[in-house]
Amino acid sequence: MAFTLAEIASRFGGRIAGDPQVLIRQVGTLERAGEGQIAFLANPRYRARLSATRAAAVIVAPDAEALTTKPRIVCDNPYAYFGHVSQLLNPAPEASPGVDPAARVAAGARIAPSARIDAGAVVEEGAEIGEGSWIGAGCYVGAGAAIGPGCRLHPSAIVYADCRIGARAVVHSGVVIGADGFGIAFEAERWVRIPQIGRVWIGDDVDIGANTTIDRGAIDDTVIEDGVKLDNQIQIGHNCRVGAHTAMAGFVGVAGSTDIGRHCRVGAAAIILGHLSICDRVEISAATVISHSIRKPGTYTGMFPSAEHSAWARNTAYVRHLAELARRVRALEKRLQQKDSGHD
């Protein structure tokens, strides 16, 4: 599969500088791309690599167009444009319809004629698999669950009973959707388990990384809206709502009953405590702990950088006494104000 720059630009827009008939067969990095490959420059720190690249063509922003004489596509967002080109050159494999004889599909399950069910997969009674969806080897789709059209469940993904996944989802191996949320109550020196009777409701075009878990609601549903992108090993607690087109990096933990807005970005290993509300267009830096609701869009950071241990211990000791220091400063300011007032 190959396309000229002109054909690529006709699909995705952008302006061509240089030979529009350069043939592109694959994408590559500025450092390693060669004949028939297209690379991109999105970060100004890598401009020096642009002059040395052996790529057949490059994708650049207008302010970098003059830095190379290579054939190039000029656009406002080179990284996103590169993503479109990579999808064009590396299309996802399509499902070959049919149910493998080694799969176990309940008589009352509804499997679209164009869907594929691989060996070892289990589809329980009343479950529904949409057109063109691909259920990988060893997957489990519980009773009454619904998988929309064009979905891909990679091997050993688990969807518990009555959960729903919309169209064109990508669910990687080890994902568990709809396990019980952490619902327990303390009584008489022991824990009482609270049945989790809600579901997980996932919108269209959602990607879920390997070993991520999304708990079912205690009473109401846990909801993941359209276009959400979740990295590997993320935990979404029960009754959470994640707004459309929000993205989370690996190891994020979201405690139960938290409402996260649309177009948010959550950095790796961030922790969001339960029963909070995060408004739209919030960016949370990596390793930040969010302990209060956020009502205003913006970037929020709360990290304690690493240091040599003895220095870290001293600094931590100072932080523990900040409240007392603030109280003493306020008292001192008050005495100074009183003194100045008396002098006047």
Task: Quick: pLDDT tens for 14-63.
Answer: 999 999 999 999 999 999 999 999 999 999 888 999 989 999 999 999 99
pLDDT over threshold 80, residue 341:
no
Lowest mean pLDDT among 72-81, 89-98, 214-223, 243-252: 89-98
150-166 average pLDDT score? 98
Residues 149-154 have a mean pLDDT of: 98
Quick one: average pLDDT of 71-84? 98
What's the pLDDT score for residue 304?
76
Please identify which of the residues 84, 238, 263, 292 carries the catalytic annotation.
238
- Name 169's Cβ contacts closer than 8 Å, sequence gap at least 6: 147, 148, 151, 152, 202, 204, 205, 206, 207, 208
- 92 and 12 Cβ atoms separated by less than 8 Å: no
- In this predicted structure, the answer to whether residue 344 has a pLDDT above a threshold of 70 is no
CB 278 within 8 A of CB 290: yes
Report, as an integer, the average pLDDT of 289-318.
91
**Model pLDDT, residue 342:** 67
- Residue 189's pLDDT is what? 97
Residue 193 pLDDT > 70: yes
Question: CA 237, CA 230: separation in Å to the nearest integer?
Answer: 14
pLDDT in tens, 92-106: 988 899 999 999 999
CA dihedral 104, 109, 110, 112 (to 10 degrees): -10
Name the residue with tokens 């080109």: 85
Q: What are phi and psi of 47, to 5 degrees?
A: -60, -35
Has 309 been annotated as catalytic?
A: no
- Tally the residues of the chain: 344
pLDDT of residue 288: 96
What's the pLDDT tens digit per position in 286-296? Answer: 999 999 999 99
Q: What is the pLDDT of residue 20?
A: 97
So what's the pLDDT on residue 108?
Answer: 98
What type of residue is 225?
Answer: E
Going edge to edge, which strands form the sheet with 110-111? 110-111, 128-129, 146-147, 164-165, 200-202, 222-224, 241-242, 259-260, 277-278
Q: What is the pLDDT of residues 239-275, one digit of tens each?
A: 999 999 999 999 999 999 999 999 999 999 999 999 9
- pTM over the 0.85 mark: yes
Q: Whose structure tokens read 């009584």?
A: 187
Q: Kindly give the interhelix angle for 78-89 and 5-12, rounded to the nearest 10 degrees.
A: 110
Q: What's the whole-number average pLDDT of the chain?
A: 96
Which sign, positive or negative, has the C-alpha torsion 184, 188, 189, 190? negative
